[in-house]
Amino acid sequence: MTKRVWLLTAAAVAVLVAAGVAAAAMFAWPKGSVGASGTGLAAISVPGFAADVESVLVTDPRGRAFAVSVRHGTIWPLEKLAPGEKLTVTVDFHRPGWIGWLVGHDTERTYTVVAPVAHLRETLLRLAKGSAVSIRFDAPVSRVSIGGQRVREVGGRTDVPLGVVASGAASEGSTTVAAAVRPWESLPAPVSVSWFTPGAATQVVAYPAAGARVSPTAPLRLTFAEPVSTVLGSKLPTLDPATPGTWTRVDAHTLEFRSAAAGLPLGGTLKVRLPRRTLAWRVEAGSTLRLQEILGRLGYLPLRWHGEQPTTPAAELAAAVSAPQGVFAWRFAKTPASLQRLWKEGSRNVVTQGAVMVFEGEHGLATDGVAGPAVWRALFRADLAGQRRAGGYSYVLVHETIPQSMNLWHNGKVILTSPGNTGIASAPTQQGTWPVFEHISSGTMSGTNPDGSHYNDPGVRWISYFHGGDALHAFPRASYGTPQSLGCVELPYTAAEQVWPYTPIGTLVTIES
């Protein structure tokens, strides 16, 4: 072999040896890895001086990146992650320069992790009297919220007491539970848990609890100790008053009622009738401010209201719960100061009460001045239809300073002034403001005189009762303008006849000195 051939052969062997060494290094050199962690999101393993962690990226399936930190080889989220969320962990390792030239400076490792989830082992608990109510999970949990209250740290438990005792026969209860396995997880959607002890005719737990005050938009959930088909057969619970909506079977033991757009009866009581059992809830009333807004829009107040107008029953219900912004303004330039003093936006007052009574009277409802379910339903219909009142606004002001007088104010001006008689010293007319509560063209007035004798006056005309037995009415006297009655406001026949059409139920009457 010539020297030249020998040198070439030696060089080729050296190259092959170097390649072999490089290949061996590629396979044999320690590599960084990413895997499961018992506490954090994932664990990073970097043997000795094999490499350094250059970067860590955690993303969800949509590519959104989450902030994390690495401490002692564990990746920790810096923001709350949802239980069950699937994440991809990507770690870039950088090898030292002296070996990097041979086996590569950078390498990447990925790991897919699912944030752990704990499930309740049971959601229907059957307990003996006096038993403590506890819930059990299929995995240790670190944080729990019960009934929507503040989050409790429970330190990795599978059995969590609710702090409630099934205290008696027919004892039932229900709550919601949300729990997270890791401290860095957010709480999931709450799950309903119900418990029963023997004794109730129909064992059922309601959520919200029966007897509670509920929002008019709240769903009502009933969980039965026995399957729904066993308790009700093919029937559904009956609602009183009848309320449009839909019953849905959530599972074999649970029914849920969701009302239609008009919601549960505002300010009323809703009953659900079951076999041998009736449950009831008090429904929150609509806001006084929203009541005033609708009455102002429809012309039942001496003020008008301008603001955003709902166009659907659902929007009306939402506005009743949370009144929209708007502006009230007096309708008439010369509104009496005594009437202005009675008004207060957003608060119950006699001006609002009187307006409700007028509305009730014009819509065939009981004129009690209370905005109950029937009043709200009628208000919604009228507001959506834009049914403004055509009768104008009236107000009666009686001055007791002699000569006593009655003034009828209507739509911004006094249209009638008449002398009148109020109560004598032993039977005075009480000062204040009241809405007319009875309005009759003719009736019998009877009672007791100050001396104890009784009176009975049939055929009294043009009567508008406003406070107890006190009324505006016609009564024949030789003169008017001084105290002569037993508390009523007596008017000459012609004046009483003229006033009467302007004083329907709900009209305000003020007696002042």
Is residue 29 over pLDDT 60? no
pLDDT digits (tens, 9 = 90+) for 362-380: 999 999 999 999 999 999 9
Of 396, 400, 403, residue with least CA distance to 466: 396
CATH number 1.10.101 is the correct assignment for the domain at 288-385? yes
Quick one: angle between helices 288-298 and 373-385, nearest 10? 40
Look over the chain and give the mean of its residue pLDDT values, rounded to a whole number.
Answer: 90
The whole-number pLDDT of residue 223 equals 93
Burial classification of residue 375, based on how many CB atoms lie within 10 Å of its CB (0-12 exposed, 13-18 middle, 19 or more buried): buried
In the chain, how long is the greatest CA-to-CA distance? 159
CB distance 437 to 412 below 8 Å = no
Backbone angles phi, psi at 6, to 5 degrees: -65, -40
Burial classification of residue 385, based on how many CB atoms lie within 10 Å of its CB (0-12 exposed, 13-18 middle, 19 or more buried): exposed
Is residue 25 over pLDDT 50? no
Q: How far apart are CA 459 and CA 461, in angstroms?
A: 6
- Class of domain 394-512 (CATH, top level): mainly beta
The mean per-residue pLDDT over the stretch 226-253 comes to 95
Q: What is the pTM of this model?
A: 0.74
Tokens found for residue 162: 């609710």
Backbone angles phi, psi at 321, to 5 degrees: -80, -40
Overall fold of domain 31-114: Immunoglobulin-like (2.60.40)
pLDDT digits (tens, 9 = 90+) for 271-301: 999 998 999 999 999 999 999 999 999 999 9
The mean per-residue pLDDT over the stretch 10-39 comes to 59
Label residue 167 by pLDDT band (50, 70, 90): low
Q: How far apart are CA 400 and CA 496, in angstroms?
A: 17
The mean per-residue pLDDT over the stretch 32-44 comes to 92
Share of the chain above pLDDT 70, in %: 89
pLDDT digits (tens, 9 = 90+) for 428-447: 999 999 999 999 999 999 99
The whole-number pLDDT of residue 106 equals 72
- Class of domain 204-283 (CATH, top level): mainly beta
Give the DSSP letter of residue 81. Answer: B
- Taking the CA atoms of residue 444, residue 445, residue 447 and residue 450 in that order, the dihedral angle to the nearest 10 degrees is -140
Q: Which residue has the tokens 């609002």?
A: 352
Is 31-114's fold the same as 204-283's?
Answer: yes
The mean per-residue pLDDT over the stretch 374-387 comes to 96
Of 325, 318, 323, 240, residue with least CA distance to 274: 240
Q: Which residue has the tokens 């019953």?
A: 247
What ranges do the domains of the chain cover? 1-30, 31-114, 124-196, 204-283, 288-385, 394-512
The whole-number pLDDT of residue 202 equals 76
Is residue 101 over pLDDT 90? no
Chain-centroid distance, C-alpha 421 = 52
Taking only Cα atoms into account, the Rg of the chain, rounded to an integer number of angstroms, comes to: 40
The mean per-residue pLDDT over the stretch 132-146 comes to 95
Label residue 207 by pLDDT band (50, 70, 90): confident
The whole-number pLDDT of residue 1 equals 52
Is residue 21 over pLDDT 50? no
Question: What secondary structure does DSSP assign to 386-431, as a single string?
Answer: T----S--EEEEEE-SSSPEEEEEETTEEEEEEE-B-B-TTSPPPP
- Taking the CA atoms of residue 92, residue 93, residue 99 and residue 102 in that order, the dihedral angle to the nearest 10 degrees is -30
